[in-house]
Amino acid sequence: MEKYVIRGGKQLHGEIEVSGAKNAAVAIIPAALMVDGVCRLENIPQISDADMLMTILEHLGAKVRAVNSNTVDIDCTNVRYTDAPYDLMRKIRASYYLIGAMLGRFGAAKTTMPGGCNLGARPIDQHIKGMNALGADVEVAGGFVYANTPDGKLHGARIYLDKVSVGATMNIILAASMARGRTVIENAAKEPHIVDLANFLNSMGADVRGAGTDSVKVNGVERLHGGSYTIIPDQIEAGTYMVACAAAGGEIRIKNVIPRHLESISAKLREMGVTIIEGEDSVVVKSSGKLHRVNVKTMPYPGFPTDMQPQVATALCLAGGTSVITEGIYDNRFKYTNELRKMGAQIQVDGRTAVIEGVDRLTGAPVAACDLRAGAAMVIAGLCAEGTTYVEDIHYIERGYENFVGKLRSLGADIALVSEPDEPGSIKSASAG
C-alpha cells in the first residue's frame, strides 16, 4: 500500500509549473478516435486517467506513441468498431466521452456506465437525451450503455439541456461534430475545457462555434483530419497549489496558467486576505497563513468550481471565524469532512451546506483520500498540521495530479511517498474516476 507521509508546518516557497488540464485531456484523448490521421497531443498530463484512456484506445486498435513525457501521437485511422474493455472503462467517469466519439465515427457505441468519484448520484440522462436528439437509440442495461443509429449516421438537432452539464455538453459536441447537419446546444456549460475541446476539434477540421457561451453551434463535417494540438493548463491543479500556499503560508509563483480561468479562485483567496499577483501566464501567491473567514458557493463556470471546494474548505478550517460553504453541484461532496475532523477541524454538515468554525491548529493524523479533490485537501491539511499526517488511498490523487509529491517538495514541503506491503487479506479498493 502506498501513502503520503507529511510533516506539517513548513511554508511554501519557489516556483512550479502546472500540467495540462485533466478534464480537457480526458475528452480530447477519446476525441482522437474520430480523427482520420495522426493526432499529436501536447501538454498531456501524466496522470492515471489519461493513461487509462490511451490504453482503452490501444485496445480499440489505435496506435499510441509517446513522443516525450507529455506529448503523444495517436493514430486511430485503422480503428474498427468494437467493444471497449469493460474493466478499464468502469474505472473512469470520462469513459462516457467514448459514447459521443464512437457514435460520431461509427454510428454505434457500447461502453460501460461511467465510474467516477462518488460525489452523490451522477446520472447521464442529459448525455442520453442529447444522443437521442441526434437520432441514436440508447439503452442502459446490465451496467452497459448501448447506442445505435438506424442509418449509421447522426443527424444535427436542437438540444436544450435541462441541467448545465460539463460532460453532456462535451459529449454532444463530440457526437455532433461528425453528424449530418447543424446542432445547437442551449443551456450549455461554459468551462474552459469545453472551449479547449472545441478548439481541438476545429483544428482537426470540425466546425464548432460558441463554445464558452451557453449556446454552442456545431456544423457536422464528413471527416476530421490529423494535426497537432496543445492542451490548456489545469485550472484545478493551479487552484490547488494556490490554496495550499494560502493555507500553509509562503510565497510561490505558479507558471503555465491562464489567469482568467483562475479568477473565481483568486477573488476568493483575496477575500481571505491572500495576495495574488497575476502575470501573463503565471500567478504569484503570497500568504502569511493567517486567513479571514469567507462564504463560498460552488457553481458552474465562471462561478467558484466544485472541484476546488474540499481544498478551500480545508484552508478555512484554520481561518479566523465562521465560514459557510454551499455545494451547488453535487449532493454528497462533504464526506472528506469526517477525515478533517480527525485532525481537529470543527465542521458541521447539513445536506449541501458545511459550517466551519476556524480553529488555531490542526494536528497530524492518519486520514484517507475519499476521492480525487478530497485527497488533495487532505494533503493541504497535512501541510498545515502540527505533527505527521498519513494520507492513504492516494490512487485517487494520482488520477488527477501529475507529480504531486515532487512539485510540493520543490516548494519546500516535507512530503514523501512511502510504500508498505499490503496487509494479508486486505482488499485494495479500485480506482474510480
Give the dihedral sign, CA 236/241/242/247. positive
* Cα(407)–Cα(16) distance, integer angstroms: 6
Query: Do the Cβ atoms of 235 and 302 come closer than 8 Å?
Result: no
Per CB under 6 A, does 143 bind ligand UD1?
Answer: no
Looking at this protein, which amino acid is placed at residue 395? H
Q: Find the part of the chain contacting ligand UD1 (CB under 6 A) among 28-36, 123-131, 248-256, 423-431.
A: 123-131
Per CB under 6 A, does 306 bind ligand UD1?
Answer: yes
- Can 39 be counted among the known catalytic residues? no
By beta-carbon proximity to ligand UD1, the closer residue of 166 and 179 is 166
Give the nearest distance from C-beta 258 to ligand UD1 in angstroms: 17
* Cα(108)–Cα(105) distance, integer angstroms: 8
Query: Do the Cβ atoms of 335 and 398 come closer than 8 Å?
Result: no
Which residues are CB-neighbours of 42 under 8 A, at least 6 positions away? 20, 70, 71, 228, 229, 230, 231
By beta-carbon proximity to ligand UD1, the closer residue of 307 and 398 is 307
Kindly state the number of chain residues that form the binding site for ligand UD1, as judged by CB under 6 A.
21
Which residue out of 117, 245, 317, 384 is catalytically annotated? 117
Query: Do the Cβ atoms of 366 and 343 come closer than 8 Å?
Result: no
Q: What is the per-residue binding string for ligand UD1 in 24-63, x denoting contact by CB under 6 A?
A: --x-------------------------------------
Q: Report the site for ligand UD1 in 176-195 (rule: CB under 6 A).
A: 189
Give the nearest distance from C-beta 222 to ligand UD1 in angstroms: 28
Per CB under 6 A, does 126 bind ligand UD1?
Answer: yes
With b for 16 or more beta-carbon neighbours within 10 A and e for fewer, the 105-132 pattern comes to: bbbebbbbbbbbbebeebebebbbbbbe
Per CB under 6 A, does 311 bind ligand UD1?
Answer: no
Q: Which of the 8 DSSP states describes residue 244?
A: H
Among 230, 190, 187, 181, residue whose Cα is nearest residue 211:
190
Query: Pick from 65, 82, 123, 320: which binds ligand UD1 (CB under 6 A)?
Result: 123
3-class DSSP string for 176-194: HCCCECEEEEECCCCCHHH
By beta-carbon proximity to ligand UD1, the closer residue of 191 and 339 is 191
Give the nearest distance from C-beta 234 to ligand UD1 in angstroms: 11
Give the nearest distance from C-beta 165 to ligand UD1 in angstroms: 3
Per CB under 6 A, does 94 bind ligand UD1?
Answer: yes
> Which active-site residues does the annotation give?
117
Interface with ligand UD1 by CB under 6 A: which residues? 23, 26, 93-94, 121-127, 163, 165-168, 189, 306-307, 329-330
